[in-house]
């Protein structure tokens, strides 16, 4: 064991204790998979990360991401929190405007959005759940079929069954059977759009001025919850990867505007705020093979494995505030 710099960052909040914490080991060199997994299990946070030297010359640092139950190729709040910790510890990116993270999913650009950081959402692969599987998951959540407006399997590294429900109240009232979700091996992300936001979105489809108005509104447009019992977390407080997938899906369907704020963690006593913005200056691309990679414009290219990739008119960015809570050293 050796002494390693360590930080615990609260993500998607500016107030400690109201977001989603991530444990960041700022020097993961020399640690094997078992040691990383053991430490992640010990922290008992939804994710623990290990910063490493990059192997890709375009990247500023490499990151490995672990839940208590396994490694993830990509995750949102660990990406923002680890970048925040790396910068606070003196990390200097190759470019002033963009930090590039290397992870198992590929290269993930992260930009400074004022005081916030925002990552470029990797392209999401969409597919339809089978009616039988959807009915089993709905039963585990205590949902009636009429309460499910839309359903889609979402894969941007982490895989979720995304459910758009009929209201935020339905989202907040859920009491899932987590054991059954483990049996089904299914992580589930649910969203309910605020009624006022639904009206704005309908108008925005035909009004450029309404779209501009919606983009300035900082009131949460949607309530989100994430149930991840199959990886050891019954409910994740605030989830960047899920919000990224939901944004790509529901912006494309016209249910949400190109810029909005999502609330998550309410039931857990948190007040997470996820800031979504789609940059229509570029086109997200997909390929038939390979991992996600950063293009020269800072956008991510897709991986392909037989499922449909999301094709939308621009890059979705997922941002949030970060605040340091613990700074010190670990023996690891």
pLDDT digits (tens, 9 = 90+) for 257-308: 999 999 999 999 999 999 999 987 533 322 222 333 333 333 333 333 344 5
Between CA 33 and CA 69 the distance in angstroms is 12
Between CA 73 and CA 47 the distance in angstroms is 12
Res 133: pLDDT: 98
Which of 59, 36, 50 is CA-nearest to residue 291? 59
Res 201: pLDDT: 54
Between CA 200 and CA 203 the distance in angstroms is 5
Q: Where are the domains of the chain?
A: 3-122+323-331, 125-284
* Superfamily of domain 3-122+323-331 in the CATH hierarchy: Diaminopimelate Epimerase; Chain A, domain 1 (3.10.310.10)
Between CA 127 and CA 154 the distance in angstroms is 7
pTM summary value: 0.85
Res 198: pLDDT: 59
266 CB-side CA count, 13 A: 18
Which of 67, 68, 106, 88 is CA-nearest to residue 287? 106
Between CA 239 and CA 227 the distance in angstroms is 10
CA angle, residues 112, 205, 198, in degrees to nearest 5: 80
Residues in contact with 128: Cβ distance below 8 Å, sequence separation at least 6, in sequence order: 151, 152, 153
Between CA 107 and CA 57 the distance in angstroms is 11
Cβ atoms 182, 234 nearer than 8 A: no
Cβ atoms 301, 105 nearer than 8 A: no
Between CA 285 and CA 175 the distance in angstroms is 38
Between CA 190 and CA 316 the distance in angstroms is 19
Contacts 24+ apart (CB under 8 A), 285-292: 285/123, 286/123, 286/311, 291/104, 291/105, 291/106, 292/74, 292/105, 292/106, 292/107, 292/108, 292/122, 292/123
Instruction: Tell me the residue length of the chain.
Output: 332
Catalytic residue among 47, 183, 209, 218: 47
Q: Is residue 47 among the annotated active site residues? A: yes
| Residue numbers in the chain where pLDDT is lower than 50 | 202-216, 282-307, 309-311
Between CA 34 and CA 23 the distance in angstroms is 17
CATH assignment of 125-284, among 3.30.230.70, 3.40.50.261, 3.10.310.10, 3.40.50.300: 3.10.310.10
Question: Same CATH topology for 3-122+323-331 and 125-284?
Answer: yes
What is the β-pairing status of strands 159-165 and 125-127? unpaired
């Amino acid at each position: 064991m050796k002494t390693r710099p360590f930080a615990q960052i609260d993500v998607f909040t500016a107030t400690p204790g109201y977001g989603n914490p991530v444990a960041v080991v700022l020097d993961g060199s020399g640690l094997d998979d078992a040691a990383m997994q053991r430490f992640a299990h010990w922290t008992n946070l939804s994710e623990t990360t290990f910063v490493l030297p990059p192997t890709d010359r375009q990247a500023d640092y490499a990151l490995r991401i672990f839940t208590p139950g396994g490694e993830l190729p990509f995750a949102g709040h660990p990406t923002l929190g680890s970048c925040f910790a790396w910068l606070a510890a003196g990390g200097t990116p190759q470019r002033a405007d963009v930090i590039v993270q290397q992870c198992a999913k590929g290269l993930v650009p992260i930009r400074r959005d004022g005081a916030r950081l925002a990552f470029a959402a990797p392209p999401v692969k969409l597919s339809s759940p089978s009616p039988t599987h959807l009915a089993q998951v709905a039963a585990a959540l205590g949902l009636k079929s009429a309460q499910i407006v839309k359903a889609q399997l979402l894969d941007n590294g982490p895989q979720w069954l995304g459910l758009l429900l009929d209201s935020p109240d339905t989202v907040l009232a859920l009491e899932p059977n987590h054991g059954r979700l483990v049996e089904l091996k299914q992580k589930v992300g649910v969203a309910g759009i605020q009624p006022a936001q639904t009206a704005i979105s309908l108008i925005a489809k035909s009004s450029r001025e309404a779209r501009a108005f919606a983009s300035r509104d900082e009131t949460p447009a949607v309530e989100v919850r994430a149930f991840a019992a199959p990886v050891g977390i019954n409910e994740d407080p605030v989830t960047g990867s899920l919000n990224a997938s939901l944004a790509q899906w529901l912006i494309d369907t016209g249910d949400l505007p190109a810029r909005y704020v999502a609330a998550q963690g309410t039931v857990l006593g948190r007040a997470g705020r996820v800031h979504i913005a789609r940059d229509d200056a570029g086109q997200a691309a997909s390929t038939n093979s390979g991992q996600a990679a950063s293009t020269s414009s800072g956008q991510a290219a897709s991986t392909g494995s037989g499922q449909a990739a999301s094709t939308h008119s621009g890059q979705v960015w997922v941002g949030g505030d970060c605040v340091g809570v613990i700074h010190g050293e670990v023996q690891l």
